[in-house]
Amino acid sequence: MSVIKRMSGFQPTAADRTRLINPFRVMDVLERARQLESTGVDIVHLEVGEPDFATAPQIVAAGMRALQQGHTAYTPAAGLPALRERIARFYADHHGVSVDPSRILVTPGASGALVLASNLLLNAGDTVLMPDPSYPCNRNYVHLVGGKAVLIPPAFPGRPAPTVAQLESVYDSSVKGLWLASPANPTGAVIHDSDVQALSAWASGRGVHMLMDEIYQGLDYADTASSWRAMGNLPTALGYNPDNLIVNSFSKYFGMTGWRVGWLVVPQALAATANILAQNLFIAAPTPAQHAALRAFDEDVVEVLEQRRAAFQQRRDFLCDALRSVGFSLPWQAEGAFYCYAGIERFADDSEAFCRMLLEDHGVAVTPGTDFGDHDANHYVRFAFTGALPRLQQAAERLQRALA
Ligand SMILES: Cc1ncc(COP(=O)(O)O)c(C=O)c1O
**Mean pLDDT along residues 137-156:** 97
Evaluate if residue 224 carries a pLDDT over 80.
Answer: no
Tell me the CA–centroid distance for residue 397 and ligand 1, in Å.
30
Verify whether ligand 1 is closer than 6 Å to residue 215 (CB atom): yes
Cis peptide bond upstream of 133, omega within 30:
yes
**Mean pLDDT along residues 193-204:** 97
Evaluate if residue 132 carries a pLDDT over 60.
Answer: yes
Tell me the CA–centroid distance for residue 151 and ligand 1, in Å.
18
Q: What is the pLDDT of residues 12-26, one digit of tens each?
A: 999 999 998 988 889
User: Over pLDDT 70: what percentage of the chain?
Assistant: 95
Task: Name the residue of 142, 217, 251, 260 whose CB sits within 8 Å of the most ligand 1 atoms, as the mutation to test its pocket.
Answer: 251
Q: Using the atom order of ligand 1, give the atom closest to the CA of residue 112.
A: 11
Q: Give the pLDDT of residue 349.
A: 97
Q: What is the pLDDT of residues 162-178, one digit of tens each?
A: 999 999 999 999 999 99
Full set of structural domains in the chain with CATH = 18-54+301-403 (3.90.1150.10), 73-296 (3.40.640.10)
The residue whose CA has the least distance to atom 14 of ligand 1 is 49
Q: Give the pLDDT of residue 100.
A: 98
Verify whether ligand 1 is closer than 6 Å to residue 49 (CB atom): yes
Query: Please, what's the b/e burial string for 141-171 (b: 16 or more CB within 10 A of its CB; e: otherwise)?
Result: bbbbbebbbbbbbbeebebbbbbeebbeeee
Q: Give the pLDDT of residue 10.
A: 87
Tell me the CA–centroid distance for residue 50 and ligand 1, in Å.
9
Evaluate if residue 203 carries a pLDDT over 70.
Answer: yes
Is there a contact between 59 and 295 (Cβ–Cβ < 8 Å)? yes
Confidence of residue 233 (pLDDT cuts 50, 70, 90): low
Q: Give the pLDDT of residue 292.
A: 98
Amino acid identity at 113:
A
Verify whether ligand 1 is closer than 6 Å to residue 262 (CB atom): yes
Verify whether ligand 1 is closer than 6 Å to residue 217 (CB atom): no
* Average pLDDT score over the chain: 94
Indicate the Cα dihedral angle 270, 272, 277, 283, nearest 10°.
140
Task: Name the residue of 215, 219, 247, 252 whose CB sits within 8 Å of the most ligand 1 atoms, as the mutation to test its pocket.
Answer: 215
The residue whose CA has the least distance to atom 13 of ligand 1 is 49
The residue whose CA has the least distance to atom 4 of ligand 1 is 110
Verify whether ligand 1 is closer than 6 Å to residue 109 (CB atom): yes
Evaluate if residue 356 carries a pLDDT over 70.
Answer: yes
Confidence of residue 6 (pLDDT cuts 50, 70, 90): low
d(C-alpha 296, C-alpha 58), whole Å: 8
Q: What is the pLDDT of residues 304-348, one digit of tens each?
A: 999 999 999 999 999 999 999 999 999 999 999 999 999 999 999
Q: Give the pLDDT of residue 49.
A: 86
Q: Give the pLDDT of residue 105.
A: 98
Evaluate if residue 95 carries a pLDDT over 90.
Answer: no
Q: Using the atom order of ligand 1, give the atom closest to the CA of residue 135.
A: 1
Can you say whether residue 169 is alpha, beta or left, with left for phi > 0 and alpha for psi between -120 and 50 degrees? Answer: alpha
User: Over pLDDT 90: what percentage of the chain?
Assistant: 88
Tell me the CA–centroid distance for residue 139 and ligand 1, in Å.
13
Q: What is the pTM of this model?
A: 0.95
Evaluate if residue 33 carries a pLDDT over 60.
Answer: yes
Higher pLDDT pick, 27 / 359? 359
Evaluate if residue 96 carries a pLDDT over 60.
Answer: yes
Q: Give the pLDDT of residue 235.
A: 83
